[in-house]
Amino acid sequence: MKRQFNLFILLATLALGSCQKDFLNTDPSTEFSENAVWTDPALVETFINQLYFRLDEPLTDGRFKANLVDEGHYRGNAASLNFNRSIQSPDDLLGWGVSRYRSWADLYKSIRYCNLFFSKVDQVPFSANLIDGKTMKDRMTGEMHFMRAYYYHLLTSTYGGVPLITEPYALTDEFQKERSSYADCVKFMTAELDKAAQLLPLDHTGANLGRATKGAALALKARILLYAASDLYNKDVFPGFEKPELIRYMDGNRSARWQAAKDAAKAVIDLNKYRLYKAIPAVTDNISQNLTELFLSKNTEEDIFIKYFTIPMGQRVGLYSSPNGYHGWGTNAPLGDFVDDFETLDGKKFDWSDPAMAADPYNNRDPRFAATVLYNGASWRQRPDDAKGLDPENKVQTGRWERWNATTGKIDLVYGVDTRKSTIEDWNGAYTGYYLRKYIDPAVNAQYDKQAVTWRFMRYAEVLLNYAEACIELGLEDEARIYLNMIRKRAGMPVITDVGAALKERYRNERRIELAFEEHRFYDVRRWLLGPQIYNRTTKVADIVYKMNPDHSTASIPTIRHIDFEKYSWMDKAYFLPILRDELKKNNLLIQNPGY
């Protein structure tokens, strides 16, 4: 029986804007035999497009890894809370499984597609014509080396060393393969990306916009090498584990690893291809608006590897994340702990014990705060018809008002339209007093319409941060501050002058703020071995009340504080996810990660 490729899973073509009319007119219109695919370069291109489609990003289904670390809270999902208490097991990964294409099985399915391409590519009748300086065969081969490295990166960042499979398994094959060492996985991934960088163009044009480029290959290599040099993969966190080489390096040449990470990031910088979006704000600029534009624009000069969307493939993130006073669900709600880590505009650490800061906590904060978080009193889009009378100013309401009831002689509590006791939807909304602003397009009515915001897998700010981190670890602090302060200048924040341990701590907070809700924090906490510090705590949420004055009038300025919410906890096993029991049964050569 011929294997068939179903077009439903190939619809990433739409996202890349690379559908071809000849392909759409092919008969039959829904399926193609494998043999037909490898005789037509247009079909091969569509086959490749599914690999882009399968890359894990949170905008489509609206749920972020941020909810599995100290960035966000996932409303109504007990699984995420259990994950944050280290309760995951080989039988259930809990909140990890809410997103598409995140599982071991799905990642290996994507890798199989890559391997299948390499086994068939020499059969394809490619032309020798150059597009963007590369032949179609070279460009596609480069894309697949990049994709295979990317999927292995997602696996190794989660599990440590994994089986390195480079051939397309058939149903008749034996599925027995040992896990490779972490070091060998890193070596394989970087070799794949070196090949990709040689074959890929620096720029794509026309219908190929959005495909992997040389810069994307080099940037992914820099990220992989940065991770590889980090604490998790270089310290003995699990003494007694039978196969430590699966989860860390066994040699002590860590300085060389930091140097490799530094050199890889510098290779991206030296392309002179990318720059920060509005890197030098004008005096009259609204910097928060500049930063908002970065994540709502289709393209910017900062983009290295991105994913486009069209309305037919639109995202649920607007509905999932918007305030419930706009009929949103408040699913990805920033935590108070995250809000507290935004500095004041003069570069000071925010401190609730400072009376001036506590009295007006959302004023004079890092401009990235207003570009990332919707907070009480923040201006937002026009209310839907059923809420206009409740909020004529179109400002987020996550507080409650104490109002005097002369009839009863008692105080009535009136809850804001975006609270969980809203008269709009009293069963919906965030628990934290905050909503996500980043990625949410105010021009789209998320109650009825899907948005199509570009997702940025890699952007130049990350490369600068990666370079700065490697410099710090190598003792090159002057160099590190130069690149850190490039990002700070774009954000309208004063320069960093710290040294030593204080510089490292400042860097880590800068990365937390700059890359917020971009799927980095989950991995950063783990590779820095911060699990106990980040998870052994009670999370914070905002409590906001407009108090009654002695004359029975209601204060126009709220009293705001952060109060205890949910208690997280940590076990070191959570540095890596467990391999599910079903996978262990399929392949009895697999060794489970420590602690499971």
Question: Which residue has 């300085």 as its token pair?
Answer: 255
pTM of the model: 0.93
The two beta strands, 373-374 and 410-415, are unpaired
- Nearest-CA neighbor of 155 among 197, 199, 107? 107
> Where exactly are the structural domains of the chain?
104-114+140-164+179-270
CA angle 216, 290, 208 (to 5 degrees): 30
Report the DSSP beta bridge partners of residue 414: 401
CA angle 512, 517, 521 (to 5 degrees): 45
Which tens digits make up the pLDDT trace of 281-326?
999 999 999 999 999 999 999 999 999 998 877 899 999 999 999 9
Instruction: Locate all alpha helices (DSSP H) within 335-459, ordered by sequence.
Output: 336-340, 355-359, 367-372
Which tens digits make up the pLDDT trace of 37-83?
999 999 999 999 999 999 999 999 888 999 999 999 998 879 999 99
CA angle 373, 378, 381 (to 5 degrees): 95
Q: Where are the beta strands (DSSP E) in 361-470?
A: 373-374, 400-405, 410-415, 435-436, 455-459
Rounded average pLDDT over 189-211 = 97
CATH architecture observed for domain 104-114+140-164+179-270: Alpha Horseshoe (1.25)
Say if CB 223 and CB 304 are below 8 A apart.
Answer: no
Report the DSSP beta bridge partners of residue 573: none
Which tens digits make up the pLDDT trace of 475-523?
999 999 999 999 999 999 999 999 999 999 999 999 999 999 999 999 9
Write out the two tokens for 356: 């001036």
Query: Of all residues in the chain, what percent carry a pLDDT higher than 70?
Result: 94
The alpha carbon torsion through 126, 130, 134, 135 (nearest 10 deg) reads 10
Task: Measure the CA–CA gap between 368 and 334, rounded to whole angstroms.
Answer: 13
| Cα 596 to chain centroid, rounded | 26
The neighbour count for residue 479, using CB atoms within 10 Å, is: 17
In sign, the C-alpha dihedral spanning 192, 197, 203, 204 is: negative
Which tens digits make up the pLDDT trace of 228-275?
999 999 999 999 999 999 999 999 899 999 999 999 999 999 999 999
Q: Which contiguous run of DSSP H or E holds residue 317?
A: helix 317-321
